[in-house]
Homo-oligomer: A and B are copies of this chain.
Amino acid sequence: MSRNICVCQEFLSDAHKRQIEDTAKAAGFSVRFFALEQQAQAAEYLQSCEILYAHSPELLRAAPASLQWYCCSFAGVDPYCKNDGIFKNPACLLTNSSGAYGVTISEHLLMVTIMLLRRMPEYEAIVQNHGWSNQLAVRSIIGSEFTILGTGNIGTTFAQKAKLLGAGKIIGVSRSGKSRDAVYDEMYSFDHLDEILPKTQILVMALPGTPETIGIMTKARIGMLSPASLLINVGRGTAIDQSALVDALNAGQLGGAALDVMTPEPLPKDDPLWSARNLILTPHVSGNMTLGYTCDKTVSMFCEDLENYAAGRPLKHLVDRARGY
């Protein structure tokens, strides 16, 4: 019986397809590619497949119990870790593409950090009004202190860039309270958040969506941040009490915020978030698949693990489905 791989992605170039085909062939697999709009055909082919490379909960639900490995091309895999029967095969391996998004999302983070430090939401309002006023007090990355909540590839890549640009102390906060990266001047686990937030200047949130991170920024914790502080989130919207954040921004209890993720997505047309004060909103763009580097890296990570899989070695990008990342 042939060993088959079903690939359903929108971003693959011809070179990416050749790379996957060559790796599959060497590993003894056949591969077929489907565009996002060919989901029905993909689901049909999937019935004979051992491996699925996609980013679709719907397609995964259509997979047979014989599926052995699902590789998700996204970094966030919360839709697949809910223990809600999405895997017919309970032993099916799940890998993600954490590591592919650090480059693009860290540049987004750098952009919104400087925009907030340099008062761009206010300047943009002045310019829209064809006004001329230029004495708002700006701040610099140099010497600014960061609290990175979520010290995976995304948070750490950003921290490294901030340090290169002269940032002051960088505190990392993660589930384990540990990081191997020397960029962090101090590391803490989640249960130290209440001590850290009152001293935080710039809070950068890059957390996966897990039971431990959902709602981690409660109303009380948002209230611990100082009026000059900035809050930036590129992880999951569920991490923040969003209506408390809107209230805090509108009351001037925070210096500003930038959200690339929110709840729900898409955000309803009449949500109060759209008009919150000093808020930079972007429609979940920070890790989109239009950057060549991200696509190349994602494909390379899949191919690397395909070689591991075929050789019977452990998969490098394996997700702990109970932990959620």
Contact = CB atoms under 8 A, between A and B. Distances in A.
A290 interface: yes
A140 interface: yes
Contacts of A130: 267, 269-270, 274
Contacts of A135: 288, 290
Interface stretch (A111-119, A173-181, A194-202, A311-319): A111-119
Contacts of A104: 138, 140
B140 A103 contact: yes
Contacts of A142: 103, 293
Q: Is the interface of A mostly helix, strand, loop or mixed?
A: loop
A321 interface: no
A40 to B, nearest CB: 22
Contacts of A161: 164-165
B127 A291 contact: no
A16 interface: no
Interface string A249-282: 0000000000000000111011000100000011
Contacts of A182: none
Question: Chain B CB within 10 Å — which of A103, A137, A285 has the most?
Answer: A285
A71 B71 CA distance: 64
A169 interface: no
A142 B105 CA distance: 13
A297 to B, nearest CB: 11
Nearest to A266: B132
Interface string A277-311: 00001111100101101000000000000000000
A107 B259 CA distance: 21
A214 interface: no
B285 A123 contact: yes
Given A274-B130, A291-B139, A115 B123 contact: no
A92 to B, nearest CB: 29
A102 B74 CA distance: 38
Nearest first, the 7 A-B pairs at minimum CB distance are: A132-B266, A137-B290, A111-B114, A134-B285, A164-B164, A130-B269, A134-B283
Interface of A: 103-104, 107-108, 110-111, 114-115, 117-118, 120, 123-124, 126-127, 130-143, 161, 164-165, 265-267, 269-270, 274, 281-285, 288, 290-291, 293
